[in-house]
């Protein structure tokens, strides 16, 4: 089984539009984290949402979590060309230690 599968695999939008990426997972989680990766570089932490939370905001980012559906979404509002990157969700299992299990990611392209 695959944990943390993002959807869509690729997303292409214009600057100013909103981008929504979804993540599904299979196990019970302690928390879910979203990361950004610019073209083969390091992973930048965006936001952490715990299993007892339903929504979190950070600047132009909005993350929701639905534990009954085992899914999360990341919304980037008013996107910019600089938001072009791959976005990954990663889960920490409830029964696990602290290991992050990553999905394959969504590649976002924001055109000027």
Partner 1 sequence: EPEVTQTPSHQVTQMGQEVILRCVPISNHLYFYWYRQILGQKVEFLVSFYNNEISEKSEIFDDQFSVERPDGSNFTLKIRSTKLEDSAMYFCASSEALRETQYFGPGTRLLVL
The residues binding partner 1 (CB under 8 A) are 30-31, 33, 35, 40-45, 48, 88, 90, 92, 96-105
Minimum Å gap between C-beta 30 and partner 1 is 5
Minimum Å gap between C-beta 48 and partner 1 is 5
Closer to partner 1 by Cβ: residue 45 or 54: 45
Closer to partner 1 by Cβ: residue 3 or 84: 3
Nearest to residue 57, comparing CAs of 70, 78, 75?
A: 75
| Encoded tokens for 10 | 């690729």
Minimum Å gap between C-beta 53 and partner 1 is 14
The C-alpha angle with vertex 52 and arms to 27 and 55, in degrees rounded to 5, equals 100
How far apart are the C-alpha atoms of 14 and 36, rounded to whole Å?
19
Nearest to residue 67, comparing CAs of 28, 21, 13?
A: 28
CB 30 within 8 A of CB 76: no
Closer to partner 1 by Cβ: residue 15 or 55: 55
Minimum Å gap between C-beta 97 and partner 1 is 4
Closer to partner 1 by Cβ: residue 100 or 108: 100
How far apart are the C-alpha atoms of 79 and 13, rounded to whole Å?
8
């Amino acid at each position: 089984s695959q944990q943390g599968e993002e959807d869509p695999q690729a997303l292409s939008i214009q600057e100013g539009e909103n981008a929504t990426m979804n993540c599904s997972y299979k196990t019970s989680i302690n928390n879910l984290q979203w990361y950004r990766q610019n073209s083969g570089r390091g992973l930048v932490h965006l936001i952490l949402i715990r299993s007892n939370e339903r929504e979190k905001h950070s600047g132009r980012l909005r993350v929701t979590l639905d534990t009954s559906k085992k899914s999360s979404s990341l919304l980037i509002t008013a996107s910019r060309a600089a938001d072009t990157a791959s976005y990954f969700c990663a889960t920490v299992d409830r029964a696990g230690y602290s290991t992050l299990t990553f999905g394959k990611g969504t590649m976002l392209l924001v055109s000027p």
